[in-house]
Amino acid sequence: YVLTQPPSVSVAPGQTARITCGGDNIGSKRVHWCQQKPGQAPVVVVYEDSARPSGVPERFSGSNSGNTATLTISRVEAGDEADYYCQVWDGSSDQDWVFGGGTKVTVL
Amino acid sequence: EVQLWESGGGLVQPGGSLRLSCAASGFTFRNFPMNWVRQAPGKGLEWVSTLSSTGQSTYYADSVKGRFTISRDNSKNTLHLQMSSLRADDTAVYYCAKGSADGDYFDYWGHGTLVTVSS
């Protein structure tokens, strides 16, 4: 199973960033998103399509339908600059845990 | 607070072996699946291996199958990854990651340990 993300997204502070994650009928799967800042370990920002772990700002939201899942970051701040990865559990083989290639979000 | 601390990384020659360990705290270790995920320099995240909470079920990426072995000691809250026949393309930061309750995703990550395979 293949997940496709744009390599980069640029956004001005205060604007909205949308990061897509494409996959065959991804809407039938649960999508999870993690944020990775340079030199740091990944941190989950959205799980099960749209749920947020405690401590993650409400500015981070997720949606999933059809062949595309989307992570939306509203009112972008400089501290949101990071790599973002989508991930699913496929369940159709023993290679079940799949990551997208990652999207670098740059705050202009 | 969930904490995961990897150790055991280092420089190893091609064909060599290395054993990574991950010490866990802050949750009931025996109740959750555990995972290894790696990241080659400048590259994205790659799932490596998953072990069920009981240790009965193991899963491996095709890229490491037959060379890596995942194990756990629930009495010591420790996860291991035995790596053998190492290749240059195994060079990466290896992260220990706690699995979610249903095993779908990785809800907490360690800081990572760097494995460099080079002569």
For A27-42, write each residue's pLDDT tens digit: 999 999 999 999 999 9
CB contact under 8 A, B50 and A97: yes
CB contact under 8 A, B59 and A94: yes
Average pLDDT value over all residues in chain B? 96
Q: What is the pLDDT of residues B84-99, one digit of tens each?
A: 999 999 999 999 999 9
Does residue A91 carry a pLDDT above 90? no
The per-residue pLDDT for A15 is 97
Which two structure tokens, joined as six digits, stand for B113?
Answer: 């340990």
The per-residue pLDDT for B87 is 97
Query: For residues A96 and B8, what is the distance between their CA atoms, to the nearest angstrom?
Result: 26
Does residue A93 carry a pLDDT above 80? no
Calculate the CA B80 to chain-centre distance.
7
Least Cα distance to A21 among A38, A42, A2 occurs for A2
- What band does A71 get if pLDDT is binned at 50, 70 and 90? very high
Chain length of chain A: 108
**Chain B CB within 8 Å of residue A65 CB:** no
CB contact under 8 A, A85 and B44: yes
Mutate which of B49, B50, B60, B106 to disrupt the A interface (most A C-beta within 10 Å)? B106
Q: Could you tell me what percent of chain A has a pLDDT over 70?
A: 100
Contacts of A41 (CB under 8 A, 6+ apart): B95, B109, B110, B111, B112
Query: For residues B55 and B58, what is the distance between their CA atoms, to the nearest angstrom?
Result: 7
| Owner of token pair 């390599």 | A7
The per-residue pLDDT for B84 is 98
Calculate the CA B10 to chain-centre distance.
14
Does residue B41 carry a pLDDT above 90? yes
Query: For residues B91 and B12, what is the distance between their CA atoms, to the nearest angstrom?
Result: 10
CB contact under 8 A, B104 and A44: no
The answer to whether A36 and B106 have CB atoms below 8 angstroms apart is no
The per-residue pLDDT for A95 is 72
Cβ neighbours, 10 Å, residue A69: 29
